[in-house]
Chain A
């Protein structure tokens, strides 16, 4: 074996990374659909006019990702968690993120 039991890193940090990454992606997707549904939300996310609302959507997603990663990592850094459940949840959330950015889907909510 390459690492002994005392050096083994628990699964918590990996679960925190998977889950927080998926949350960031979901937020980008959610804001994409919401800004399509509401001009007010689209305008509120227009933080840099040459690039439009894309900047607000993506920076908000990044902020949520990094904050959630910090919090989850602090909670789970020395713990083993159910990695299979956490990863399954992360994959479902990532899939929702992809769906929410898919134009045939988000244009259903066009305001």
Chain B
């Protein structure tokens, strides 16, 4: 329709990077603001309870999205990226080999993918810790300034890990797309 089409590999790359990864990164701003605003001097008791309820839902959804992102990346898209080409194959169909064969762009694999594939897994672990603490402590987070700040810092680290992975993923896809 309208000349728009995806190969199955492109479809899964979009699901992994743009839909799941993009959703996680966009949702971070809302989660951060919600956690930051949880202060008794800024909200009524009723407001805090509702805020806690929203944050519990939101942070668990974010953790689930982060897990789906790394699992689709590692088990669906990454095998296509790292597949070994047969003798004489067109290397543009084999992104890892294509990048490594060209010295000018080899760093996209040697630095970019090598960091991305590992650091991405930090995001769901950190996001799950945050979701657990928000769920366990609820509006007690508003009373305990230190715990809220620590939770926020873990939340920021989860975002940093996902942002590094997402940015590198986008740039690597530009240099050598999975098609």
Taking Cβ atoms with an 8 Å cutoff, the residues of A that contact B are 1-3, 8-9, 11, 13-14, 17-18, 20-21, 24-25, 28-29, 32, 48, 50-52, 54-55, 57-58, 61-62, 65, 83-84, 87, 91, 94, 97-98, 101-104, 107
Beta-carbon contact of A51 and B157 below 8 Å: no
Is B48 engaged at the interface, CB distance under 8 Å to the other chain?
Answer: yes
Determine whether B115 belongs to the interface, using a CB cutoff of 8 Å to chain A: yes
- Say whether B136 faces chain A, with CB atoms less than 8 Å apart: yes
In the complex, what residue of chain B is closest to A49 when comparing beta carbons?
A: B79
Task: List residues of B whose CB falls within 8 A of some A CB.
Answer: 40, 45, 48-49, 70, 74-75, 78-79, 82-83, 110-111, 114-115, 117-119, 121-122, 125-126, 128-129, 132-133, 136-140, 142-143, 146-147, 150-151, 153-154, 157, 161
A–B complex contacts, Cβ < 8 Å, 28 sampled:
A1-B143, A2-B49, A3-B138, A3-B140, A8-B140, A9-B137, A9-B140, A13-B133, A13-B136, A14-B137, A14-B147, A14-B150, A14-B151, A18-B150, A25-B122, A25-B125, A32-B118, A50-B78, A50-B79, A51-B75, A52-B82, A61-B121, A83-B147, A94-B126, A97-B122, A101-B118, A104-B111, A107-B110
Which listed residue, A2, A32, A61, A102, touches B143 by the CB 8 Å rule? Answer: A2
Among A13, A21, A98, find the residue whose CB has the most chain B CB atoms closer than 10 A. Answer: A21
Cα distance, A21 to B150, chains bound together (Å):
13
User: CA separation between A14 and B128, bound complex, in Å?
Assistant: 12
Q: Are the CB atoms of A102 and B133 closer together than 8 Å?
A: no
Cβ A1 vs Cβ B78 within 8 A:
no
**A21 in contact with B154 (CB, 8 Å):** yes
Q: Report which of A2, A18, A57 forms a contact with B48, defined as CB distance below 8 A.
A: A2
Q: Which residues of B contact A48 (CB under 8 A)?
A: 75
Report Cα–Cα, A61/B45, bound state, in Å. Answer: 39
Number of A-B contacts (CB under 8 A): 99
Which one of B121, B139, B153, B154 lies within 8 Å of A28 (CB-CB)? B121
Between B121, B132, B142, the greatest number of chain A beta carbons within 10 A of the residue's beta carbon is seen for: B121
Q: Which A residues are in CB contact (< 8 Å) with B82?
A: 50-52
Contact A54 B117 (CB under 8 A): yes
Taking A2-B140, A18-B129 as contacts, is the C-beta distance between A28 and B118 under 8 angstroms? yes
Known: A9-B137, A9-B140, A11-B147. A98 touches B129 (CB 8 A): no
A94 and B147 contacting across the interface, CB-CB below 8 Å? no
* Bound-state Cα–Cα, A103 to B117, Å: 11
Q: Which residues of A contact B157 (CB under 8 A)?
A: 94
> Is there an interface contact between B114 and A103, defined as CB atoms closer than 8 Å?
yes
Q: What's the minimum C-beta distance from B125 to chain A, rounded to whole angstroms?
A: 5
CB distance from A53 to the nearest CB of B (A): 10
Q: Which of A17, A24, A54 contacts B118 (CB 8 A)?
A: A54
